[in-house]
Amino acid sequence: MGSDGIAAGVTDDARYRLLVEGIADYAIYMLDPTGHVASWNPGARRFKGYEAHEVLGTHFSRFYPEVDRVAGLPERALQIALDEGRFEQEGWRVRKDGSQFWAHVVIDAIRSPAGELLGFAKITRDLTERRAQREALRRSEEQFRLLVQSVTDYAIYMLDAEGRVSSWNAGAERIKLYRPDEAVGQHFSIFYTEEDQQAGVPQMALQTAAREGRFETDGWRVRKDGSRFWASVVVDAIRDDFGDVVGFAKVTRDITERRATQMSLEQAHDQLLQAQKLEAIGQLTGGIAHDFNNLLTAILSSLELVRKHLPDDPRIIRLIDNAEHGAQRGATLTQRLLAYARRQPLKMQAVDVPVLVQDLVTLIEPSLRPAVRLDAQFDPGALAVVTDPNQLDTAILNLCLNARDAMPEGGLITIRAARHSLSDANVQGLERGDYVCLAVTDEGEGMDDETLAKAAEPFFTTKGVGKGSGLGLPMVHGLAAQSGGKLVLKSVRGRGTTAELWLPSADDALTGVSSITPATPEATSRPLTILAVDDDALVLMNTSMMLEDLGHFVVEASNGRQALSALETAGPFDMVISDHAMPGMTGSQLAASIHERWPGLPVLLATGYAELPGGSTLDLPLLSKPFSQRELADAVASALRR
């Protein structure tokens, strides 16, 4: 048969009948105006399990679950189709054997040219099983024509054996914008993108459908006006009585919005996985840093005591100095790890960003290469944030040095600050409210997507060995999170990087418990009886030795229960110095028990963490680990004066 075989040998009504019979994935049947089944095609029989004589004349509500029938969903569906011209829904439907399947349903009202309601066209697709046999539609030619023409949500049309359009329904006109006289006779490849046409995708679709009976895919398609939409496409081969392919039935649906929603969900899922990964790394990092702090406390305090009691030998003193400097570098790394884990002590207060940045610029500029310029720009108005000013200083310095290192040939570093009022969808992970966005932008080489995804992870660095610890950005990330804000990195390979530090505006009230570094009063001169509590034997021994070296009498306990027992049997005590992170009973829990039973007894918490348990009302002085003997003495004196 030639290219015009279908057009010349088949009437319009027969063409519509063949078209619907060629569709294998949809149950298409008619209802009379009252909702009773007026025709029943083989596709409907396959989906629902009823023979025609079993359902003709019965109300279509029998296909709905009992709960939907009680709720009046079938009647509401017809009413919506009558009022609005179309009803669409996904939901559970019931087969003859009682089993249920998830169906996509479209009901279109069918009217005569005079506007009289003739009934309803109903299209159902089983979405629980995409492998379906080709539907055999046995309806009168007029019913098939009315049925297909009434569908507007799907483009349903026929192609001849060579791929030319031979019929065109209202849905095809609505989706693709071609009138029937513009589409019929055209090769269906005009609906494909230029790239797909060059790749031979239209021909491959027909070849697959002819060989396998069906071709199904999703992809970009082109409307008459040149705009693109994401389409779900099914092409079914239509065969004559001898099994020869005489054409193709093609169903196209615009699923652009569905695809956009799916992509948004996938993006949100990826962001959630990344956040969970960073949170897990943070938990691990915080634990390691806490243990490392204990070791540094023992090392630094031991070195201090050794220095104090050794002869004044320059060679020995130089070795002790080197050891102390190494331990202090370890303490700096530990603080950065705790910053990433959001467990470093913060002094939360209102900070004027322009003032802080302008003061910091004078310190940063000498460390920049001659070819690197620095420019600070601030929006008008109040730009105060709630955070720790010293930690913010360090964060901005880290971002500027990263920007400098990204521009080995020189360039411009721009620091900008602007105020924003955020709604829920503005910045992922931030609550609604007023924020200041402090952005540091460079003109450097930028990062690819893989590097950008890892940039804020601890110890990840693109710098050479010995040129970066990989803790600068993690520290900034931790500061932002602990301050109630967020670090947002934006970068394109070859186009530079922008690091945005979002921090809450100082207009909002300060919330949460801030760590308090003790003041520096004169150390107490009288000997004290002190109960020292720590589950780390090294830290406990060194704390006791430093206190004894200061002239105090010390009783040791390795956990909260031992401490309470000692208070009952070995007292009285002038003070309790306790670690916070201990198994069984934390330092703050121990302090609460002490305040109940010995209300006037001072308690000093020595810890590497910033936070106290949620809801704690105790106002306890904190001593940050690692600490020196002088800091210990000052903290003891401060605690006694509270």
Residues 529-641, CATH architecture:
3-Layer(aba) Sandwich (3.40)
Is the pLDDT confidence value at 611 over 60?
Answer: no
Is the pLDDT confidence value at 62 over 90?
Answer: yes
For 555-571, the pLDDT digits (tens) are 999 998 999 998 988 87
Of the given ranges (240-249, 444-453, 491-500, 535-544), which has the lowest mean pLDDT? Answer: 444-453
Residue 389, preceding bond cis, omega within 30 degrees?
no
Domain ranges of the chain: 1-22+152-254, 26-129, 265-340, 349-504, 529-641
Q: Tell which residue, 388, 382, 391, 392, has the closest CA to residue 357.
A: 392
Q: Tell which residue, 118, 135, 117, has the closest CA to residue 126.
A: 135
Structure tokens at 165: 């359009």
pTM over 0.85: no
Distance from C-alpha of 449 to C-alpha of 267, rounded to nearest angstrom: 14
Identical fold, 1-22+152-254 and 26-129: yes
Is residue 471 a contact partner of residue 371, using CB atoms and an 8 Å limit?
no
3.30.450.20, 3.40.50.720, 2.60.40.180, 3.30.565.10: CATH of 349-504: 3.30.565.10
Q: Tell which residue, 617, 619, 621, has the closest CA to residue 637.
A: 621
Question: For the packed helices 12-21 and 141-150, what is the interaxial angle rounded to 10 degrees?
Answer: 70
Of the given ranges (58-72, 238-252, 404-418, 419-433), which has the lowest mean pLDDT? Answer: 419-433
| Whole-number pLDDT of residue 421 | 83
| Whole-number pLDDT of residue 67 | 93
Q: Which amino acid would we find at residue 130?
A: R
* Close Cβ partners of 272 (under 8 Å, ≥ 6 residues apart): none
For 280-316, the pLDDT digits (tens) are 555 545 555 556 666 666 677 777 777 777 667 677 7
| Whole-number pLDDT of residue 464 | 44
Of all residues in the chain, the percent with pLDDT exceeding 90 is 20
Cα maximum dimension of the chain:
115
| Radius of gyration from C-alpha coordinates of the chain | 38
**Regarding predicted confidence, which is higher, 556 or 465?**
556
Structure tokens at 144: 């098939």
Distance from C-alpha of 76 to C-alpha of 72, rounded to nearest angstrom: 6
Distance from C-alpha of 640 to C-alpha of 87, rounded to nearest angstrom: 77
Is the pLDDT confidence value at 57 over 60?
Answer: yes
Structure tokens at 232: 């779900």
Of the given ranges (92-101, 230-239, 262-271, 589-598), which has the lowest mean pLDDT? Answer: 262-271
- For domain 1-22+152-254, the CATH superfamily is PAS domain (3.30.450.20)
Position 13 confidence tier, pLDDT thresholds 50, 70, 90: low
Q: Tell which residue, 103, 20, 121, 111, has the closest CA to residue 63.
A: 103
Position 147 confidence tier, pLDDT thresholds 50, 70, 90: low
What's phi and psi for 523, nearest 5 deg?
Answer: -65, 145
Is the pLDDT confidence value at 64 over 90?
Answer: yes
1.10.10, 1.10.287, 4.10.280, 3.90.550: CATH of 265-340: 1.10.287
What's phi and psi for 73, nearest 5 deg?
Answer: -65, -40
CATH topology of domain 26-129: Beta-Lactamase (3.30.450)
In a 3-state reduction of DSSP, which class is residue 348? Answer: coil
Mean per-residue pLDDT over the chain, rounded: 78
